[in-house]
Amino acid sequence: MTRRPLSGRLRAWHLVAGTALLAVLAAGSLFVGVSDLTPAGLLAGRPEEVRTLVESRLPRLLAILLAGTAMSVAGLVMMHLTGNRFVSPSTAGTTESATFGVLVATLFAGGEAVIVKMVTAVAFALLGTFFFMAILRRLTFRDMILVPLAGIMFGGVVGAATTFVAYRADLLQSLGAWTAGDFSGVLRGRYELLWIAGAVTVLGYLYADRFTVAGLGRGFAVNLGVRYDRVVNTGLVLAAAITAVVVVTVGEVPFVSLIVPNLVTLALGDNLRHALPATALTGALFVLLCDIAGRIIRFPYEIPVSTVLGVVGAAAFLALLLGGGKRMGLR
Amino acid sequence: MTVTHAQGSTTIPATPEKVVVFDLGVLTTLDELGVPVAGVPVAENLPDKLAKYAGDGYTKVGSLFEPDYEKVNSLEPDLIVVAGRSSAAYPELSKIAPTVDLSVDNTKFLASFRERTEALGTIFGKQTEVERRLDAIDTAAAGVKAKAGDRTGLIVLTTGGKISAHGAGGRFGVIHDTLGVKPAAEGLSTDTHGQAVSAEFIAKTDPDLLYVVDRDSAIGENGAAAKQVLDNALVNGTKAAKNGKIVYLDPFTWYLAPAALSSVDGMVKAVGDSLS
């Protein structure tokens, strides 16, 4: 996984430009929605417009930024730890396991607080991810494509189990409602758990160097004095926790964790500490753009962000495979 | 005797004795008319008056959506009734026994409901009682419509913390189409699952009356109950909230078994009460 990184100056320039773009879009997104909210109205301090901003638009923006950032960083970390650029929470069974956890929590603790759901989802996401890692260790051919294929199949099995349980419990429609990633229900008081995902993402940054070394392989890492297993486990726990928190609060946001890290490393190289801020930034941008599109296309109704991400993400993934495949060492 | 229904017409024996019913609305009506049934779908959270159908005395013939064909076959029924959720099973079921589809057309709910219920009355020889109750519903509905005036209403369904809006011609459209409450939003999809909306949409629409169907409680889940979903500053700022006109509709009546004599009775009454 080596490629020529861009020069430091170019990288800094990219980050500044990206941040500026994100700031502009973020500010713009505050004024996209059903209720009347205009910059002029805000400046005039109209109470109902201030209320819309505080209760609905700001929480939604924060939720989008946190979810986009956290999911793409989770993807980047998993990609490094497995040494495979197609391994992400959505291709290693992590997302599906977290969803299964939410279902189990609903069945056995329906009326309980969200925190119960979250803890269960994190536990299931961890179990699933570690199970996938165990499969990975037993794979003889660690082909670039074979590994994520195994993960997708494992995720498919977990997903089938989830569907079966939901079917028997007459919860299929409800399952559909929880899993479709959607920011339309985000209001003040409904998204704050995502800050946990944000905090975990920061932890990921602090650990970045060790993840980079671990990504070079066990032998190399141990020689450099890194506690390989502990670093790998920490990374997987971080990724699983982020995924579970996002699934519980907004639902599944497909493709972000897979595409964003790939696009960024394609441009910036593999040093995790360098790639992390750009990945976080791009993830936030990507999800924000898709959500704004979902809000505009069928105004005043909404298309869930997961649907938009599914369409845009699938196209981007194909383009990556076909166009970037050579550079990524696939062809 | 030949019965015309939503998927054509079927010839059935003069007095069918062994009856399998897949629709909770039809089941409720038959219960009220004192017609015995042999097979019913598995359904939890039935209201008290129907609780006996969950017991062992009735053969369970599948889910509300999907028949257990072997069970149906082994019962050798004289008549099978499907509607709404189970209407897709009509072709298969009609191979087993005479089957009628009593689905109600939501775009002309009351007229269609009358037609279907009259068919039931004819099949089981209960015409007089059916006519009497249908006429009473029509009279009550006309009274409610006269009361509605210029008031606007929005119908939302909540499930798993998400909100969808339903308009005229939709599954809860009787509120607008028959009972005369003006739709607060135009052009809502008549899709079974309505139109996904945000709390901002409710705030912007600002209806005089907000009608809420809580799907989670309809299916016995108490996850994110509707009250919790709708208790936020945006919804609380609407005219409906300020005037105490957020109306929680009975989930069995509106969601699970809308096309039943007592359900339609209850619908007319609920909307009438909300207008007083």
Q: Is the dihedral of CA A269, A270, A272, A273 positive or negative?
A: negative
Does A101 have pLDDT greater than 80?
yes
Work out the angle at residue A237's Cα, subtended by the Cα atoms of residues A174 and A121, and round it to the nearest 5 degrees: 20
Does A327 have pLDDT greater than 80?
no
- Arithmetic mean of pLDDT over chain A: 86
Among candidates B162, B199, B216 on the partner chain, residue whose Cβ is nearest the Cβ of A187 = B199
* Inter-chain touch A56–B198, beta carbons under 8 Å: yes
pLDDT band at A328; cut points 50, 70, 90: low
Does A116 have pLDDT greater than 70?
yes
Question: Distance (Å) from the C-alpha of residue B262 to the closest C-alpha of chain A?
Answer: 25
* Inter-chain touch B162–A111, beta carbons under 8 Å: no
With a threshold of 0.90, does the pTM exceed it? no
pLDDT at residue B142 in the model: 93
Does A213 have pLDDT greater than 80?
yes
pLDDT at residue A125 in the model: 95
**Number of neighbouring beta carbons within 10 Å of residue A115:** 10
Q: What is the mean pLDDT of residues A45-71?
A: 91
pLDDT at residue A2 in the model: 47
pLDDT at residue B10 in the model: 92
Measured between CA atoms, the residue of chain A closest to residue B44 is A170
Measured between CA atoms, the residue of chain A closest to residue B224 is A111
pLDDT at residue B221 in the model: 59
* Inter-chain touch A34–B201, beta carbons under 8 Å: yes
Cα within 13 Å of Cα(B258), Cβ side? 23
Q: A106 contacts in B (CB within 8 Å)?
A: 221, 223
* Inter-chain touch B203–A177, beta carbons under 8 Å: no
| Tens digit of each residue's pLDDT, chain B (276 residues) | 898 899 989 999 888 999 999 999 999 999 999 999 999 998 877 888 899 998 888 999 998 888 999 999 999 999 999 999 999 999 999 999 999 999 999 888 999 999 999 999 999 999 999 999 999 999 999 999 999 889 999 999 988 778 889 988 888 999 999 999 999 888 777 777 778 888 888 998 999 999 999 887 766 655 456 777 888 888 998 999 999 999 999 988 999 899 999 999 999 999 999 998
Q: Which of A84-98, A212-226, A235-249 has the lowest mean pLDDT?
A: A212-226
Is A236 within 8 Å of A81 (Cβ atoms)?
Answer: yes
Q: What is the mean pLDDT of residues A49-73?
A: 92
pLDDT band at A77; cut points 50, 70, 90: very high
Interface test with B, best of A38, A167, A174 (most B CBs within 10 A): A174
pLDDT at residue B224 in the model: 54
pLDDT band at A112; cut points 50, 70, 90: low
Q: Which range has highest mean pLDDT (A190-199, A282-291, B190-199)?
A: A282-291
Q: Which of A131-145, A193-207, B51-65 has the lowest mean pLDDT?
A: A131-145
In percent, how much of chain A has pLDDT > 90? Answer: 41
pLDDT band at A324; cut points 50, 70, 90: low
Does A7 have pLDDT greater than 60?
no
Interface test with A, best of B85, B197, B234, B236 (most A CBs within 10 A): B234
pLDDT at residue A132 in the model: 93
pLDDT band at A8; cut points 50, 70, 90: low
Among candidates B196, B200, B216 on the partner chain, residue whose Cβ is nearest the Cβ of A52 = B200
Q: For residues A135 and A323, which has the higher predicted lDDT (pLDDT)? A: A135
Q: What is the mean pLDDT of residues A162-176?
A: 85
pLDDT at residue A331 in the model: 44
